Structure 1
Amino acid sequence: MHTTSTRLLKLATVMLAAGLFTGCATQNRAYDYSAFKQSRPRSILVLPPLNQSPDVNATASMLAQMTYPLAESGYYVLPVALVSETFKNNGLHNAGEIHEVSTAKLREIFGADAALYVAVTRYGATYTVFDSSAVVSATGKLVDLKSGTTLWEGSATASNSEGGNNNQGGLVGLLVAAVVKQIMNNVTDASHPVAGITSQRLLVAGRPNGMLYGPRSPNYEKD
């Protein structure tokens, strides 16, 4: 019995070590940018994000803040208002329908080199006894409109509680701070500025495994 237990313990230790090693290797693996560098996109069509959260504000909030990091990274981004109006004129009114349009058709209508597909997986406040946090998470995919090839994929998240709670007022202070924060999250869209941070983390070039710089950036092709 003792020998069997010892063998099982050794086997579990080996499997745990292998799992940890594999996890580290996966996290540190560099993204393969070969398709991205071959495509060399200059213009990007930003599609309205899919909303996979229960908050109806998610799509508009993210869409309003996705153009800036792409432009700062050196890409020409088609004007969001013009794109939205074009979709409406073609009978497409929601993100789900728009994401189903073929890449060839998007290329024909807009003439862009690539399209950005984003899904908001989390948007809104979460509550605990001592805190209330606005959290926004999203995934993104850049697709070549000429070939339909995926050039890049990534994800990002942000929270207005980052940095921890440094309240020095003890238990009562923590409870009061949590109540005040919950009220503020309810009466204002506290997730909107957080969505801006998520957009930056997801789309700005130069981050590990993030987007590459576009042709309008002085850092173009230095990656």
Structure 2
Amino acid sequence: MKHVKLYTKILFLALLTVLTGCAVTPYDYSALREAKPRSVVVIPPTNSTVEVNAPYIYMSTISQPLAEKGYYVFPVAVVERFMQENGLPTPAEMNAVPLEKIREHIGADAVLYINIEDWGQKYYITSSESVVKVSLKMVDANNGNILWKSQPHAVQPSSNGGGGLIGAIAGAIATQIAGSITDQTPEVSRIANKNAFDDQYRGLLNGPYIKPEKLVTSN
């Protein structure tokens, strides 16, 4: 009987450890709540991948979710052109601009920095997938405090086409051919952004311009 009680206690402690380890720690929003940014400027992304078009594609997907969260987003194309015309031709140079210069010349409350970590079509023997992974860091333009960080990540697998191994190989080949014609990364980027921005525990808090209908389903 003692052995049964001991076994039950060990099992309970093991289960408690697993459940505790799986718990999600809510993000600390104290800096974001204190700063109360109203406007955000998105700096063109740095790129840690070999996909040269990744920054441009991702930039086309970031303004809408930011705006839908209730922030004014400076037009990304205008900001990029303004920086280029002022002697900053590359994203690396743009990301190195001091915050006081951004605040002085653009007037944003917050700055969003982006790095592309993984991107594009991945082909395997019997399958393929579209992958997008980026890191986001929003900082206070006044003092450099980190207001929010996230790593949006999404994977869209291909269909194996059915029919066992032969069908899987055929499906992978068909997907590879289609992938050379249709790029899936814009849609995968939107999925990644939605997952990150709307996460219940670690998403971006609503800004001051959030639409009333969004308050019903948002944090």
TM bin, normalised by shorter chain, reads 0.7 to 0.9
Q: State which of 181, 184, 207 in structure 2 corresponds to 1:190.
A: 184
Equivalent residue in structure 2 for 1:127, among 115, 123, 126:
123
Aligned to 1:24: 21
Paired-residue identity, %: 35
After TM superposition, the structure 1 = structure 2 runs for residues 58-207 of structure 1, keeping only pairs within 5 Å, are 58-161=54-157, 165=159, 167-202=161-196, 204-205=197-198, 207=200
- Structure 1 distance, partners of 2:166, 2:144, is 56
**Structure 2 CA distance for aligned equivalents of residues 22 and 70 of structure 1:** 33
Distance 2:41 2:75 in 1: 8
Whole-angstrom CA distance in 1 between matches of 2:200 and 2:91? 27
Kept in 2, the 8 Å contact 1:114–1:142? The answer is: yes
Equivalent position SS for 1:178: helix
What is aligned with 2:11?
A: none
State the partner residue of 1:216.
Answer: 209
In the TM superposition, what is the alpha-carbon distance from 1:195 to its structure 2 partner? Answer: 2.1
Q: CA deviation at 1:99?
A: 0.8
AA paired with 1:41?
P
Output the amino acid matched with 1:95: P
Q: Secondary structure, in 3 states, of the residue corresponding to 2:179?
A: helix
- Mark the CA change 1:130 to 1:62 in structure 2 (over 3 Å): closer, same or farther: same
1:182 match: secondary structure: helix
Residue 159 of structure 1, CA deviation: 1.8
Q: Distance in 1 between matches of 2:162 and 2:111?
A: 48
Q: How far is the alpha carbon of 1:167 from its aligned partner?
A: 3.8
120 and 23 in structure 1: CA distance in 2 versus 1, 3 angstrom threshold? farther
The Cα of 1:191 is off from its aligned counterpart by 2.1
* Compared CA separation, residues 23 and 115, structure 1 to 2 (3 A): farther
> Partner of 1:84: helix, strand, or coil?
helix
Q: 1:182 Cα shift? A: 1.2
Give the Cα–Cα distance (whole angstroms) in 2 for the partners of residues 200 and 84 of structure 1.
Answer: 24
* 1:6 paired residue number: none
- Taking the aligned partners of 1:198 and 1:181, their CA distance within structure 2 comes to 21
TM-score w.r.t. structure 2 length? 0.83
SS of 2:87's equivalent in the other structure is coil
Which ranges of 4 or more aligned residues in structure 1 deviate by more than 4 Å?
20-23
Unaligned runs of 5+ in 1: 1-16
Q: Which amino acid aligns with 2:97?
A: V
Q: Is the 8 A contact 1:184 1:190 kept in 2?
A: no
Query: Does the 8 A contact of 1:107 with 1:146 survive in 2?
Result: yes
Deviation at 1:77, TM superposition (A): 0.4
> What is the Cα deviation at residue 199 of structure 1?
2.8
Structure 2: tracts of 5 or more residues without a match:
1-13
Between the two proteins, the alignment pairs up a number of residues equal to: 202
